[in-house]
Structure 1
Amino acid sequence: MDNPTTTLWRPVGPRELALIRDSGMRAFPPRLPEQPIFYPVTTEEYAIKIARDWNVRASGSGFVTRFDVLKSYLDRYRVETAGGRAHQEYWIPAEDLGNFNAAIVGEIVVTREYYPGDVGK
């Protein structure tokens, strides 16, 4: 393959998912002023935990998205550990999100959905 990719996940709430859908499932929305970093995660398990245990409580539902990003783009960032080895993510500065979106190959796919009855499961 000429352009290898890396699969990442992102837990999102309903508002962010609506904006992703508005993009044709091709891009993540710009960060809000109080969100200086976009953080896709490296495992589906970590994304599930955030979507189920945090997004549902914060906004009534949580979703796990999966997408592929050009490895050549991601190589300029390092994987950060947020709390423990199972909690690894990339920290993409908000001003780089347009370039990040341009490096997404294919569509962003929703792999899981969580609602209030799912919290803690």
Structure 2
Amino acid sequence: MDEKYRSGNCGICLGRIGDESVAECPCGMIFHDACALPTGACPYCSRPYSELSVRKPDRARCPVCGRYIKGNSCLCGAVLPWPDGTFTCSCGASVDGEDPVCSSCGAVYELTRFDAGGGKRKER
């Protein structure tokens, strides 16, 4: 996401934008998308929400808690595999996602798969 948005403040709640979805009005004001959507319009120029440009962050959301994540781990404790199916243990070792036990420190990870509808099922 553009640095312009990351370092800006929301024109509604005045909070820092950070890496959240941002809505930009043609009048130049920026908002957290979560703040702008319920208002239905820009509080500064009254343009409808549908005319605001919404930009999503460059990061994925955690399938467990919904937070935006950086890398392959989330604040909630979820560890997501890299495209090759491995992930990095907290000790720094690489762990195979099919056998989620770290060979270096012995940490055991719970394997959870998500179906296409967003539901999850625990496997280990």
Q: TM-score, normalised by structure 1?
A: 0.25
Structure number with the higher strand fraction is 1
- From the CA coordinates, give the structure whose radius of gyration is larger: 2
Q: RCO (CA 8 Å, sep 6+): is it higher in 1 or 2?
A: 1
Q: TM-score, normalised by structure 2?
A: 0.24
